[in-house]
Amino acid sequence: KMVQELVSGPSVGMEITSCDSQIEVLREFRNLCGPSDPEIAKQIRPKTIRAKFGTNHIQNAIHCTDLPDDV
């Protein structure tokens, strides 16, 4: 279902970087995205992208990997 959702409409790919080597970009981006389940995000991280715009675990507004190999 997730792949089907990802290809069902327009997508924007981004490479997120920082000029400041002290900033852990991936960690900060994950914090901005919030938990992958929007219902959990609404309870514990209500200001995150997924809490604000996600509708369910599949349609969670934004994809952000949590796999170390994907970095």
**Active-site annotation holds for 63:** yes
| Cβ atoms of residues 19 and 32 within 8 Å | no
For residues 16-38, one letter each, b for 16 or more C-beta atoms within 10 angstroms of the residue's C-beta and e for the rest, the string is: eeeeeeeeeeeeebbeebbbbbb
Catalytic residue among 63, 68, 69, 71: 63
Which residues have a catalytic role annotated? 63
